[in-house]
Structures are given as structure tokens and as C-alpha cells.
Amino acid sequence: MRHLRQLEDQSVYILREAYKHFDNLAMLWSMGKDSTVLLWLARKAFFGHVPFPLLHVDTSYKIPAMIEYRDRMAREWGVKLVVGQNKEALAAGMNHTLGRVNCCTALKTNGLKQLIEQKGYTGIILGVRADEEGTRAKERYFSPRDKHGDWDFRDQPPELWDQFKTTFPPGTHIRIHPLLDWTEINIWEYIKFENIPFIDLYLDKGDGTRYRSLGCAPCTTPIQSSAKSVDDIIEELRHSTVAERAGRAQDEGRGMELLRKDGYM
């Protein structure tokens, strides 16, 4: 499992760089497999401690089991949880039937922006991976966002060797991506290797379906699969040619490009 240790070493280095350079740092946790691995890596980097809060942007449409898992793990690992919600948009009746990009923008992107502004975070750690979809392949490990949270993918600062963008003008913030080099298989291999507790929505519980990627209930569909263990999942992924996020409605058309330019995770 040498390759997993190599990925771990790079992610841990990035997390420690982030902690060293950002006074007001937070990590986004969606309770999915990636950000849960990220949380585990933070415990690795800081020797069992998580020296920054975990953020969850709650759209109110999440699968209930995710919220239960969130609260249980936060208690068990003694991490500080900060939950944000775009209450205004929800009060105005925002939901996916008003357009998926609209709904994601209001409840997730704007929910996150509100939280960042409110708490004054200067660094946000996220579990995005380069192999997930096209726009994420273009990310840097340390990726600047302007005052409006926008991402200028055409003019990104260079990233050389182990040197990252850790200085930034006031009013802007940096998105930090320690998992950029990990693949979906690596994530599951690592979950198995380290025995990381994960949410069981990823497993088939007898009806021949499971979730491969988790999001809001109305916009995420389970896949046909009989994978009942992590081993089954890894075996299935090794032979799959279906995109990981095929069950995620927001990826259709130019959805993700539009979302991410405006500050979506």
C-alpha cells in the first residue's frame, strides 16, 4: 500500500502548510467518502487533533442518514462543527424544481459564501479530486478566490514543487485541495487500509442499489450495484467505465463549469 502512503504524505504536507499559513482556517465536510477521508488525514497531520472547525453547508435536502452520521462522528472525534444554511433562500421556497443550477447556487455556493463572510475564514480546505470531473482537473492545491468567491481559472498563480500560494490580498480567500491527486479507488483503498468509519449509504443493503456519490436527496440517484463491502466497491470500480458523478444531476451540460466559476466547491 506504498502508493496510499505517498498520497497521504502529500496531503498531510498540504494540510500542515495550510495550518501554518492561515489564521482563520476551516474544513468543509459533506460527510461523503472524500471529505471524511480528508478529515481522517487532518487527524493524521495533527496527531489525533483537528485544530480548525468543520463546516457543513446544510441545504435541508440532505439524506437524513447523513445528518445522523455527521453528528455522531463529530461527537466521537471531538471536532468542532459549524453548520451554515441559506435560510433566506429556503424561506423564499428555493428547491431543485426551480432549476438545478439555481438551487445549487443559492443553497450551496451562496450558503458557503455567507458562512465564509460571517466567520471571516481566509482558508477553506475541501476534498475535491482532479479525476471527479473536468473543471476540478484544472485546480491547484492552493487556489485563490476573489472577494465574490469567483475563480479565475484562466489566470491561476503557478504552483512549483512543494511551494503553494499562501499569501493573498485582504478580502480574498484561498481554497485548499489536499486530495487533488487521489482517485476514487484510492479513496476506498485508504478507507479500507485505515479502517475509517464511513456512511453505509455507499453499500448495497439488499435492494441491489447503492450510492456512489452523495448529495441532496432529490438530485442524487443510487446506482445499480450489489457491492456490500469496501472490497466489493473497489472490485466494482476497477472494472467500471461509468463516470463517478453520473448520478449527480448538476453535472449535466455546462452545469459544473458555471457553478464552479462562481465559487461552488
Partner 1 sequence: MAEIISKPSDSLNIVIVGHVDHGKSTLLGRLYADTGSLPDGKLEKVQAICRQQGKEFEYAFLFDAFLEEQEQGITIDTARTFFGWKGRHYIIIDAPGHKEFLKNMISGAARAEGALLLIDALEGVKEQSKKHGYLLSLLGVRQFAVVVNKMDLVGYRQDVFDGIEKEYREFLEQFKAVPQQIIPVSAKLGDNIANRSESMPWYSGPTVLDALGAFRKEPGRSEQPLRLPVQDVYKFDARRIITGRVTAGRVKVGDSLVFSPSNKRAVVKSIEAFNIEPPPIEGHAGQSVGVTLDEQIFVERGEIASHQDELPLVSTAFRANVFWLGRKPLERGRRYQLRVATKEVDCEIATIHRIIDTMDLAQQQGSSVVNKNQVAELTIRAKTPVAFDLSVSSESTGRFVLVDEYDIAGGGIVTELVHDDQEFLREEARQRDFAWVKGQVGVEDRAQQYGHRAAIVLVTGGRHTGKSFLARTIEARLVADGRHAYLLDGENLRRGLDADLSEGERGQATEMARRYGEVARLLVDTGLIVVSTTNPFGMAYVEAAQAIRTLVHPVPVIAVHMSKAPEEVPPNTDIVLSGPADFDAATRRILEELKRRGVLAQAIGAKPIFQYSI
**Burial class, 124, CB count within 10 angstroms (exposed 0-12 / middle 13-18 / buried 19+):** buried
In sequence order, which residues have a C-beta less than 8 Å from that of residue 246 and are 6 or more positions away?
212, 223
CA distances from 145 to 11, 121, 130, 178, 206 (A): 21, 12, 18, 17, 44
| CB closer to partner 1, 44 vs 119 | 44
Q: Which is nearer to partner 1, 169 or 206 (CB)?
A: 169
User: Which residues sit at the interface with partner 1, rule CB under 8 A?
Assistant: 2-6, 8-10, 12-13, 16-17, 19-20, 43-49, 51, 130-131, 133-135, 137-138, 140, 153-154, 156-163, 165, 167-169, 180-181, 183, 185-186, 189, 194, 237-239, 241-243, 246, 254, 257
Nearer to partner 1, 21 or 62 (CB): 21
Query: What is the nearest approach in angstroms of partner 1 to the Cβ of residue 221?
Result: 15
Q: What letter would DSSP give residue 156?
A: P
Least distance in angstroms from the C-beta of 51 to partner 1: 7
Helix axes 184-194, 2-21, angle to 10 degrees: 90
Q: Is the CB of 62 or the CB of 145 nearer to partner 1?
A: 145
Radius of gyration of the chain (CA): 18
Count of alpha carbons within 13 angstroms of residue 265, beta-carbon side: 26
In the numeric block, which cell numbers belong to residue 143? Answer: 487556489
Min dist CB 106 to partner 1, Å, is 24
124 or 187, CB closer to partner 1?
187
Minimum Å distance from CB 41 to partner 1?
10
For the bound state, the minimum distance from the C-beta of residue 87 to partner 1, rounded and expressed in Å, comes to 34
Q: Which residues contact 213 (CB under 8 A, 6 or more apart)?
A: 32, 220, 244, 245, 247, 248
